[in-house]
A and B are shown apart, each in its own frame.
Chain A
Amino acid sequence: DQQVKQNSPSLSVQEGRISILNCDYTNSMFDYFLWYKKYPAEGPTFLISISSIKDKNEDGRFTVFLNKSAKHLSLHIVPSQPGDSAVYFCAASAHWSQTSYDKVIFGPGTSLSVIP
């Protein structure tokens, strides 16, 4: 049972245009969300995060939007550049309880190709 879903395995965007990567989650306990970018044979690189008390967080060309009622978040990249071509993972975490442990759950990833 996937708790974090990225329903688009791949996405192609023209250079200079907006890339929108989507992520849905099922567990309303999640209260912290992250996006990671990953090149082949490298470790994931942290991009941007958002806490559930916010609905938007911006960092340069990257903006993450959170819609708690829809259990949906999205990553916008504007403008897209060829160097943005990578796999993007959405991840979510929560403080479950004092007796269980905390854990980050990763989505399956979306492969973004930015075409020059």
Chain B
Amino acid sequence: DTEVTQTPKHLVMGMTNKKSLKCEQHMGHRAMYWYKQKAKKPPELMFVYSYEKLSINESVPSRFSPECPNSSLLNLHLHALQPEDSALYLCASSQEGPAQDTQYFGPGTRLTVL
């Protein structure tokens, strides 16, 4: 089983809203990731959690706040987003860390900020 699930599939929010994206994996992976992908561009890394601790923050604005409640779950809390934050948000997981390890991606959440 190499499944990473993400909810919701689609999300439309206003600039004053607070919402959360959720990601779950049951593969026993110890590293989890958030990526942002714009149309016709490669995924851009946002955050990496390793053993439930934030290990990488790619200078992401504070309106994006990650949370790892346990080894299977990863959340991304959104607040006061801008229209340019509209994108596909992808969650991924891997056995250990990015190096020499395969990341498995979820289907993504299509976010539209009005």
Contacts and interface: CB of A to CB of B under 8 A. Distances in A.
5 contacts: A43-B106, A46-B105, A51-B100, A96-B99, A109-B41
Contacts, number: 64
Interface residues of A, number: 25
A41 B42 contact: no
Interface string B48-71: 100000011000000000000000
Contact of A43 (B42, B48, B107): B107
Interface of A: 31-32, 34, 36, 41-46, 49, 51, 89, 93-96, 101-104, 106-109
Given A41-B108, A44-B90, A46-B2, A107 B99 contact: no
Contacts of A43: 4, 6, 90-92, 105-108
A45 B105 contact: yes
Interface residues of B, number: 28
B76 interface: no
Contacts of B45: 103-104
Contact of B42 (A31, A51, A101, A107): A107
Nearest to B88: A41
A106 B42 contact: yes
B102 interface: yes
Given A41-B88, A101-B56, A106-B42, A95 B106 contact: no
A104 B4 CA distance: 18
A103 B42 contact: no
A108 B44 CA distance: 11
B100 A32 contact: yes
A44 B43 contact: yes
Contacts of B101: 32, 93
Contacts of A96: 99
